[in-house]
Structure 1
Amino acid sequence: MAVRGVTAAGPGDVDTVHAAIEAMNAFYNDETGLWGDPWWHSGVALRAIAEYMLIADSDEYATLAANTVEIQRAPLNWWPEGGGDFRADSTDDTGWWALALTSLYQVTKNSTYLDLAKEDEAYMYDYWNTTTCGGGLIWNIPSRTYHNAISNELYLELTATLHNLIPGDTFYLGQALKEWDWFNATGMINSQGLINDGLTEDSSCVNNGQSVWTYNQGVILAGLVQLSVATGESSYLDTAQSIADAVINDALLSPSGILTEYACATADDCEPNGTAFKGLFMRGLAKLDAALDNHPYKSYIQKNAQSAYDNSRNGTNFYGFAWQGPFDMGTTGRQASAVDLLLSTL
């Protein structure tokens, strides 16, 4: 896992992000176009390098990105219905890739990426429930079950983003507003201002009280920022701030001010998915911080990045699971999470 010729100067420096991306790309397979398993982690990694290119005004990874899209848009050999174009067997997996495509479109202005993201939005909306829970996307496509938070949060961010990218659009704005009105009324945002995993699978459709994952607190922030941009309404930012503050002030989620995936007793318990979650919260928090004039979350972001850099990084710029340290091992999820964290400091 050697990283070629990159110096990491510390959080807030573009070279530090570049070093972390180069380390992440040690997991990249040119033949599959993936950074490893699970599949959705590669969508997150692709989106992260696209956002790096936007911030750094660089096309360094454009060829790598194009390779990934070309290979991975083919029908999926593990999904019996094939799909293709990132249409997978769960709505959230499709959502991660669709958001990566919108970021790639912003970098390259290649309309193919935007068209794919629009195709993915339509696919996700095919699983908007018209019979139970008053609407909302279901998560598990084969079984047509489970209204979860993440699928609906991703759909909110995707549709609001599409609106903001397409001049004169009204359709995607309507979809974003429909999603938020439904989500906000479900009770998934609990009495502590935090978001649980989803709704019960009986006719009551109430908050199921399951784990408060960090990414569920973060993707909603990015979606609400996009919705505020789309509508000009600051009330969406107010809601986002209340969720962000609940995370930062929670002793389990932010012990000593460092974001922690407390729902996992150990890093092994978080595999294979949850190792990527914390960076997704920080990404959303950074989007919110940038939208607020007083930048109230800058110090929290910087503190977490400095802790990860000082305590959870090894000599070749791989980052471990716990940002408090010590470094445990390098995986795609851990590294993509660190890249998102470090991007949040720029």
Structure 2
Amino acid sequence: MARFTFTFAFMAATVTSAMQLNVDTTSKTSSAAGTLASNLMNYYTDSDNGVLPQPYWWWESAGLWSTMVQYWHYTGDSSYNDAVTSAIAAQAGSGQDFMGTNALGNDDQLWWGIAAMTAAEYKFQAPSSGSSWLRLAENVFDEVQGRWDTNTCNGGLHWQISSSASGYSYKNAVSNGLFFQLAARLARYTGDSKYTTEATTIWNWVHSVGLVDKSTYRVYDGTDSSEGCTSLDHDEWSYNVGVYLYGAAVMLDHTGDLATWQPHVDGLVAAASAAFTSTEGILHETQCELDGTCDTDQLSFKAYLSRWLAATAALVPSTATTIKPLLSASVEGAIASCNGGPDSSICGFKWTTDTYDGTQGVGQQLAALEIVQGLLASSSPLPSAASKRKLARRFEA
């Protein structure tokens, strides 16, 4: 069976907003993504250093560049490629490892490793000097692997890099999830078994301490090593389940071990749907969206869940029957939110209100772009891998 391809006729009529976004066809979806990408890049005001202005934290800039690499891959629009290449390279630093003054947390550094990994997988335009995209990602992996702490809780990454930093004892879902996903993607891209082994080790640890619940696959925010990782912070955020979902999908694709990884993928898809969709089946940030308390970071979290849901549906087509309705309903809601600002071209945060909600920013625009361009994921070439396999024979939808 051929790879799953999204059908663009999921709505009875053309979906438009005041800025006339339209996703009825592949070409119109690419055009809509182009409008959203243009508005998003307007927030990047310093074209020399690769970092968004305040109030955006360093890690979110890395999230932006991964989005823009995929934007080029999905649409073929290279308008921003020079800026994206320069931005990622500018933050690599003298050590070519993204360990500058902004790298306070393991998750911070890993977000940049993920950006470099994305550029490597899609054969994105290389920097004129410095290390290759793959080398940058491997440098991050090597450094973070050295921080894996078996002296407390039998393993796991701490949130903070420095042991003297406040919050060091917290072993959080996103740091360990990003490390898991980076290891899985390096395994698939290089074929090197050390990455496969490390990804499996990370997964087994997060499962053992309950960051990923063994029965429900709900992903909880973190645990404290000073207490032996015996209790959990049960807050749930959409990007946490997303990062583990795509890592598990990559492991399923890379290893072909359906008995081990298919249940994990299916469980995480179900958990994402259960925890982060409204009654209309639209993605929302359950922890803070309903009461309007999302902070600047949290306003971007849906972008990454959207990204990794679409990427999972493309890589493991058996998941598409569950993921497709989530993306379809969410696209409709996201487009309806994109009618704010003086020229009716700004996207809001809430996708459940059928209109602009009065907010604007990088997170809102990033999420709208990710959910729209995600419609193109399954009809685009998959990320490069060490060996190419006929996915349809193994993961028939």
**Smaller-chain TM-score bracket:** 0.7 to 0.9
Q: Which runs of 5+ in 2 are unaligned?
A: 1-18, 377-397
Assess if the C-alpha contact under 8 Å between 2:63 and 2:111 holds in 1.
Answer: yes
Question: Aligned pair count?
Answer: 333
Choose from 169, 190, 204 the match for 2:228. Answer: 204
Q: Which runs of 5+ in 1 are unaligned?
A: 1-5, 77-81
Assess if the C-alpha contact under 8 Å between 2:21 and 2:335 holds in 1.
Answer: no
Residue 226 of structure 1 corresponds to which residue in structure 2?
A: 250
Assess if the C-alpha contact under 8 Å between 2:116 and 2:136 holds in 1.
Answer: yes
Q: Normalization by structure 2: what TM-score?
A: 0.77
Assess if the C-alpha contact under 8 Å between 2:245 and 2:308 holds in 1.
Answer: yes
Query: Structure 1: how far apart are the matches of 2:277 and 2:223?
Result: 21
Q: CA deviation at 1:266?
A: 6.0
Choose from 287, 292, 313 the match for 1:263. Answer: 287
Larger deviation: 102-111 or 58-67? 102-111
Query: Structure 2: how far apart are the matches of 1:57 and 1:137?
Result: 37
**Does structure 1 residue 246 correspond to structure 2 residue 271?**
yes
Query: Structure 2: how far apart are the matches of 1:165 and 1:34?
Result: 27
Choose from 121, 131, 136 the match for 2:151. Answer: 131
Choose from 23, 32, 35 the match for 2:49. Answer: 32
Choose from 42, 67, 86 the match for 1:67. Answer: 86
Q: CA deviation at 1:269?
A: 2.5
Deviations 1:4-25 (A, max 9, x none): xx96323761111111111100
Q: CA deviation at 1:26?
A: 0.4
Deviations 1:208-257 (A, max 9, x none): 1331111111111110011112211123232122122133234x743321
Query: Structure 2: how far apart are the matches of 1:209 and 1:146?
Result: 10
Q: CA deviation at 1:119?
A: 0.8
Would the alpha carbon gap of residues 159 and 192 (structure 1) be closer, same or farther in structure 2, given more than 3 Å must change?
Answer: closer
Larger deviation: 65-74 or 21-30? 65-74
Would the alpha carbon gap of residues 294 and 156 (structure 1) be closer, same or farther in structure 2, given more than 3 Å must change?
Answer: closer
Assess if the C-alpha contact under 8 Å between 1:139 and 1:147 holds in 2.
Answer: yes
User: Whose Rg is larger?
Assistant: 2
Instruction: Indicate the SS of the match to 1:255.
Output: coil
Residue 162 of structure 1 corresponds to which residue in structure 2?
A: 186
Residue 3 of structure 1 corresponds to which residue in structure 2?
A: none
Residue 262 of structure 2 corresponds to which residue in structure 1?
A: 237
Would the alpha carbon gap of residues 307 and 126 (structure 1) be closer, same or farther in structure 2, given more than 3 Å must change?
Answer: same
Q: Normalization by structure 1: what TM-score?
A: 0.88
Give the alignment's Cα RMSD to 1 decimal.
Answer: 2.5
Residue 5 of structure 2 corresponds to which residue in structure 1?
A: none
Deviations 1:125-161 (A, max 9, x none): 2221121111011111123321111111111111111
Choose from 349, 352, 364 the match for 1:334. Answer: 364
**Does structure 1 residue 41 correspond to structure 2 residue 54?**
no
Would the alpha carbon gap of residues 332 and 109 (structure 1) be closer, same or farther in structure 2, given more than 3 Å must change?
Answer: closer
Query: Structure 2: how far apart are the matches of 1:303 and 1:265?
Result: 17
Would the alpha carbon gap of residues 316 and 233 (structure 1) be closer, same or farther in structure 2, given more than 3 Å must change?
Answer: farther
Assess if the C-alpha contact under 8 Å between 2:219 and 2:240 holds in 1.
Answer: yes
Would the alpha carbon gap of residues 294 and 270 (structure 1) be closer, same or farther in structure 2, given more than 3 Å must change?
Answer: closer
Assess if the C-alpha contact under 8 Å between 1:147 and 1:199 holds in 2.
Answer: yes
Residue 153 of structure 1 corresponds to which residue in structure 2?
A: 177
Give 2:350's aligned amino acid.
Answer: A
What percentage of residue pairs aligned between the two structures are identical? 24
Residue 23 of structure 1 corresponds to which residue in structure 2?
A: 39
Instruction: Indicate the SS of the match to 2:226.
Output: coil
Q: CA deviation at 1:52?
A: 1.5
Residue 380 of structure 2 corresponds to which residue in structure 1?
A: none
Query: Structure 2: how far apart are the matches of 1:59 and 1:209?
Result: 42
Query: Structure 2: how far apart are the matches of 1:246 and 1:91?
Result: 25
